[in-house]
A = this chain, B = another copy of it.
Amino acid sequence: MKGVTVRESKRAEILDVAASLFADMGYSQTSMQDIMDRTGLTKGGLYHHFKTKEAIAVAVVIEGFAMDDTPPQVGPLQAVVDASILLAWLTPRVPVVKAAARLGTDQDLEKTYGYLWTQYIPAVEKLLVQAKLREEIKPGARPEEWCFAWVAAYTGVDLMTRQDYESLPRKIATINRVFVSGFATERALAELDMRAERGRELMERSPWARQYLREAAPQASEAPR
């Protein structure tokens, strides 16, 4: 927390607390009073940072999907696979990421609904276009179609797995196999690492994830069931 002002640190605490509530109970079952109770803030104190519950949800979603912008040390197709594996490891472990997944797919919440895929689709498509230029992708395959289907499949798997979230990395490894086997050239396929277990190494390599998990959730680096 070096160099972080009191105001920033209080804001971060509100987001952490609200994220845990949103992740576990959902948006509609979480009240501003719940957030005050858990943070110990007065109404004035909370409203100083956020005017509405919706504003907190928006901030949680934006924070939850702040992608680690360290340039990957791997090819573009491996980078897509890595992004999905890392996200699948972080989602059950980091409340703000877990809450973002839930809020970003809650159709009752217009301001956050869809934030998830509007962020990911352009990023994934850019990587798949690079992969095509590097001949990691079969000549007939269209990056924009695969990108759309892949992000949709990730979103669907995340939704389908919420009641057994520890299985997310394993299930994402399954969809990665399906997508890459239909899409990648034999040569690229032979070089890719798509194991769910790779997520543990990726968490260690991501400066953001490493710092977060050490400070805020030291138990979270344990193996999933």
- Which of A108, A154, A156, A175 counts the most chain B CB atoms within 10 A? A156
What's the Cα separation between A183 and B117 when bound, in Å? 25
CB pair B151–A181 under 8 Å, yes or no, is no
Grouping DSSP codes into helix (H, G, I), strand (E, B) and loop, the A interface class, with mixed when no group exceeds half, is: helix
User: A77-136: which residues lie under 8 A (CB-CB) from chain B?
Assistant: 102, 105-108, 113-114, 117
Number of copies: 2
CB pair B153–A149 under 8 Å, yes or no, is yes
Of B141, B160, B162, the residue contacting A181 (CB under 8 A) is B141
Per-residue contact bits, chain A 23-37, to B (CB 8 Å; 1 contact, 0 not):
000101100000000
Given the interface contacts A105-B159, A152-B160, does A140 sit within 8 Å of B175 by beta carbon?
A: no
CB pair A145–B174 under 8 Å, yes or no, is yes
With both beta carbons as reference points, the residue of chain B lying nearest to A104 in the complex is identified as B159
- Which of A163, A181, A183 counts the most chain B CB atoms within 10 A? A181
A59 — which chain B residues lie within 8 A by C-beta? Answer: none
Query: Is A9 an interface residue when CB atoms closer than 8 A count as contact?
Result: no
